[in-house]
Chains A and B, each alone.
Chain A
Amino acid sequence: MSIEIKNVSKQFGTFAALKDISLSVPTGQFVALLGPSGSGKTTLLRLIAGLDVADCGVIYFNGQNIQDQSARERGVGFVFQHYALFRHMSVFENVAFGLRVKPKGSRLDDAQIKEKVMTLLRLVQLDWLADRFPAQLSGGQRQRVALARALAVEPKVLLLDEPFGALDSNIRKELRQWLRNLHDSLGITSIFVTHDVDEAMEVADRIVVMRDGKIEQEGTPEEVYHQPANAFVYRFIGNVNLFHGRVEEHEARFGTVESTGQSDAVRAYIRPTSMKIHLSPDEVGSRPFGAVIKRLRNHGLNVRVELTSEWGEVFEVAVDPKLMDLSQLTPGRDVFVSVEEDKVYYEDFSI
């Protein structure tokens, strides 16, 4: 089912949670709503679900206006942030709930419900826990029960609010991939809310970056990472170094260059992965500058080197230990740094 959101706004008291949002999600896509807390991403998800009503604007499912439809008619599955499992029901009854509350005419009989619930529990690999209660499960297991419960009513759209938010980091990574595979095998449209950039990058087909109730950018993970629409997106997606400089003769200059008083301030954002450390100036590419190594931090696969530029700004460079001899990067050593010019993002600066 495709989802089309047109000019939707939502106000809570004096707080504008969503400001004129428009977004379309084609059938079968897995979309991440990504943003800091308070950006309106959960509100948007709840509007799509029908848990809240928009102040203005329209939401279409498959081209049909669904504003007046209840959650049941919308055919939406919702996985809550803290799972919201029914604590007084067993895992089996939790999953069966959506089937049991159906009106008499369309309700399955007990044997069919049992078969369907067990199939779903096998799908989430929890059939052996059918008789347990939510309180007896681990976080990851609860998460999967919540998923099975949402899938029981065969939704066309699956909405997930911070699906991995409450989990340990190693379980989180495992579940991400599993959820992605599940989405692909079911062929439904999924939207999930997250504030975790890695999560959005890894799972989603498309990322919608939100801030203050507005969409800052939407695009594939590659687009959002490599062609950020603005400084906010650049800073939010991945680590970034900030340099202050000035625009002079249509060129950004940094550090020691004297201000003429005529120039405009400019800020440049450069990712640690878009910079390189060189031990001598001759092996350097474009516009190198001097820096002093402050310290090294090991992040597993890559190493972060913290440096101070010759004009005193502190920044980070990512170094691949396979390409560079780490023993030469001793704190206090003078080195040269080059920048991949096409990966730099300038703010308030036009040529």
Chain B
Amino acid sequence: MASSASIGDGTVIRRILIAITVLFLSVFLVLPILVVIVSAFQQGMHTYWAAISEPEALDALRLTLIAAGVAVVSNTLFGLSAAWMITNYSFRGKNLLITLIDLPFTVSPVISGLIFVLLFGGRSVVGRWLIDHGIHIIFATPGIILATCFVTFPFVARELIPLMQSQGNQEEEAAYMLGANGWQIFWRVTVPKIKWGILYGVVLAAGRAVGEFGAVSVVSGHIRGMTNTLPLHIEILYNEYQFSAAFAVATLLLVFALVTLVLKRYLEYRIDRKSEAL
């Protein structure tokens, strides 16, 4: 054999590797997706359509979209300000802040939900006061939004901090020297520079927000048509042995996931092209 042969050139090894990869992909990816789709349509198109068009499913979809929408907007604002602060100013506790931003990734989602129950539930001082004033957070929409925001809030910030750090602030300084004010600098220089990064973070956050189960489950209270998101609705259907309906609704989440994936790939491609152009 030629001495220039690289690692993994042997046919046997190559075949084994391919086999392992294919096996893994089929068992953990292709097969489950197929099961979801097949089960969803098992009882025919009619049942499928009924499952995803019944009012409770639509309410769940609406709530999911609201929670995801609010989470995405607030994450974008938070991510932008955190990244702006971290890249443009030096202050005490900067590294601590960067570490803290990752906290929702390391805390179990169930615990995240519990935090909010403890904080805003009827047994806490804050929760009591709010309930006395007619503001319900736990077992209501605000709680679901809060929990969704919490579990998704690192996405945009984590995407932007390294991006903005690598780009530096020379262009902003140049704009400042040319007489632009802070607002003009932000919209005309900073945002165009990082827009693909923002979108990437938004797509990831939206994907996570739509599929979030654990944290939302704890704060939701599972009130049908009121505090059910799509994943929770699926759980209820499943527990009631309505398998076809459960899988039918699950296909909606599958569509979200695929759209997220495609957008993610496209944005990665745009970001790569951007950095190559420099």
Contact = CB atoms under 8 A, between A and B. Distances in A.
B176 interface: yes
A101 B277 contact: no
Interface stretch (B72-80, B137-145, B184-192): B184-192
Nearest to B274: A87
A149 B188 CA distance: 15
* Secondary structure dominating the interface of B: helix
Nearest to A13: B90
Contacts of A135: 277-278
Nearest to B172: A84
Contact of B179 (A49, A80, A102, A133): A102
Contacts of B188: 86, 97, 101
Interface string B262-277: 0000000000000001
A101 B180 contact: yes
Contacts of B193: 87-88
A144 to B, nearest CB: 15
A86 B277 contact: no
A230 B171 CA distance: 39
Nearest to B276: A135
Contacts, number: 61
Nearest to B183: A101
A135 B278 CA distance: 6
Contacts of B4: none
A71 B277 contact: no
Contact of A149 (B173, B176, B178): B178
Contacts of B177: 49-51, 71, 76-78, 150
Interface in B159-209: 170-171, 173-181, 184, 188-189, 192-193
B179 A87 contact: no
A86 B184 CA distance: 13
Interface string A78-102: 1010101111110000000110011
A72 B178 CA distance: 7
A84 B170 contact: yes
B37 to A, nearest CB: 42
Contacts of A84: 170-171, 173-174
A101 B179 contact: yes
A80 B173 contact: yes
A149 to B, nearest CB: 7
B42 to A, nearest CB: 51
Contacts of B174: 78, 80, 84-86, 149
Contact of B173 (A51, A77, A97): A51
Nearest to B191: A88
Contact of A98 (B178, B181, B192): B178
Given A97-B188, A101-B188, A135-B277, A87 B180 contact: no
Contacts of A98: 178-179
A152 B177 CA distance: 12
A153 interface: yes
A71 B184 CA distance: 15
Q: Which of B179, B181, B277 has the most CB of A within 10 A?
A: B179
Which has the most chain B C-beta neighbours within 10 Å: A49, A77, A88, A149?
A88
Nearest to A74: B177
Interface residues of B, number: 18
B192 A101 contact: no
Interface string B124-161: 00000000000000000000000000000000000000
A71 B176 contact: yes
B171 A101 contact: no
Contacts of B277: 87, 133, 135
Contact of A101 (B170, B173, B181): B181
Interface string A28-60: 000000000000000000000111000000000
A275 B141 CA distance: 88
A42 to B, nearest CB: 12
B30 to A, nearest CB: 40
B274 to A, nearest CB: 8
Interface string B84-123: 0000000000000000000000000000000000000000
B181 A87 contact: no
Nearest to B185: A101
Contacts of A133: 277
A97 B177 CA distance: 11
A87 B170 CA distance: 11
Nearest to A76: B177
Nearest to A133: B277
A77 B176 CA distance: 11
Nearest to B173: A51
Contacts of A76: 177
Interface centre among A82, A97, A135 (most CB of B within 10 A): A97
B131 to A, nearest CB: 50
Contacts of A71: 176-177, 179
Contact of A87 (B173, B184, B278): B278
B175 A97 contact: yes
A101 B175 contact: yes
B164 to A, nearest CB: 14
Contacts of A82: 170
Contacts of A72: 179
Contacts of B192: 86, 88-89
Given A84-B170, A86-B175, A101-B181, 7 more contacts: A71-B177, A78-B174, A82-B170, A86-B171, A101-B179, A149-B178, A152-B178
26 contacts: A49-B177, A77-B177, A78-B173, A80-B174, A82-B170, A84-B170, A84-B171, A84-B174, A85-B171, A86-B171, A86-B188, A86-B189, A86-B192, A87-B193, A87-B278, A97-B175, A97-B178, A98-B178, A101-B184, A102-B179, A133-B277, A135-B277, A135-B278, A149-B178, A150-B177, A152-B178
